[in-house]
Amino acid sequence: MADADGAVRVRLDLGYDGTAFAGWARQPGLRTVQGTLEEALAHLWRCDVAVTVAGRTDAGVHARGQVAHADVPRTAWEASAASAVRRLAGLLPPDVRVHGAAPAPPGFDARFAATSRTYAYRVRDDLAGADPLERAWVLAHPRRLDLGLLGEGSRLLLGEHDFAAFCRRREGATTIRTLLRLDWARDEAGRAVATVQADAFCHSMVRSLVGALLPVGDGRRPPAWLGDVLRARARDSAVNVAPPHGLVLERVDYPADDALAARVAQARQVRTLPS
């Protein structure tokens, strides 16, 4: 994608270990993914670079399938196109990797063109605790989880709702979201894994959903309690936000190229629920 002044919009596909980062967004005096990436890109392209991301992640949250874009002078892009990924591997620290860098199609916007984001949250509910080698990316939960109870509670949250009970409010931002998928399964190592997919997420939403589901899965709360919390549309002190290290952004999905502009226009509209 190129505009009239010769800039090229470059799509970046990346992953990172969030352990040592204060989240995605650049913050003065703190190590962030955005700050680290923009510094490497500025060195690569020899110009100031501003990166737009599909979904900002909190401190300690990881990503395997994050997507971002940057608008770059055409001459800078053409000089680096063939070697951008290899050179970025040398410029970035080992806890961030850009896996792909290519011109984006017309209408692409990493944030507003996305149709969904998919996260996974991994829990080790072994009474012995988490394996020491997985402690940086798996939550150790001290009680056994019943996947049947987790599924029953999760189904109550699917669909379009006001998720104010599971979000940290931001001035002027809506908390209406469409939760497309929320289910639990055991992986090959016996971990309980929540797969959470929505058109978009508000601040701390995934971790709040998981934090509310864990006491349902271990029998401390009935599944119906989650429906009551959702309908209240207010933060509930009984809903704990799950720790960040168990959460991974796995994938961001986009529509076909010819539908990108329409998706961007739709995503920019402020949503309300039917009265």
H, E, C per residue of 15-63: EECHHHCCCCCCCCCCCCHHHHHHHHHHHHHCCCCCEEECCCCCCCCEE
Catalytic residue numbers?
58
Cα–Cα distance measured from residue 138 to residue 131, given in angstroms and rounded to the nearest whole number:
9
pLDDT on residue 237: 81
pLDDT on residue 275: 60
pLDDT on residue 130: 77
pLDDT on residue 5: 59
β-bridge mates for residue 69, sequence order? 11, 52
60 closest CA partner among 89, 33, 86, 87: 33
Residues 6 or more apart whose Cβ sits within 8 Å of residue 27:
35
**Contact assessment for residue 215 and residue 222, using Cβ atoms and an 8 Å cutoff:** no
Query: Can you tell me the mean pLDDT for 20-25?
Result: 97
Task: Count the Cβ atoms, other than its own, within 10 Å of residue 259.
Answer: 14
The three-state secondary structure class of 75 is: helix
Is residue 20 pLDDT above 60, yes or no?
Answer: yes
**C-alpha count within 13 angstroms, C-beta hemisphere, residue 25:** 6
pLDDT on residue 233: 83
The three-state secondary structure class of 207 is: helix
Average pLDDT over the chain reads 94
Q: How confident is the model at residue 48 (pLDDT cuts 50, 70, 90)?
A: very high
Q: How confident is the model at residue 70 (pLDDT cuts 50, 70, 90)?
A: very high
> In angstroms, how far is CA 264 from the centroid of its own chain?
18
pTM over 0.85: yes
Is residue 3 pLDDT above 60, yes or no?
Answer: no
pLDDT tens, residue by residue, 99-112 = 999 999 999 999 99
Point out the least confidently predicted range of 70-84, 115-129, 150-164, 230-244.
Answer: 230-244
Which tokens is 35 given? 């700050």
Query: Can you tell me the mean pLDDT for 16-21?
Result: 98
Is residue 4 pLDDT above 50, yes or no?
Answer: no
pLDDT on residue 2: 54
CA angle (191 as vertex; 188, 196 as ends), nearest 5: 100
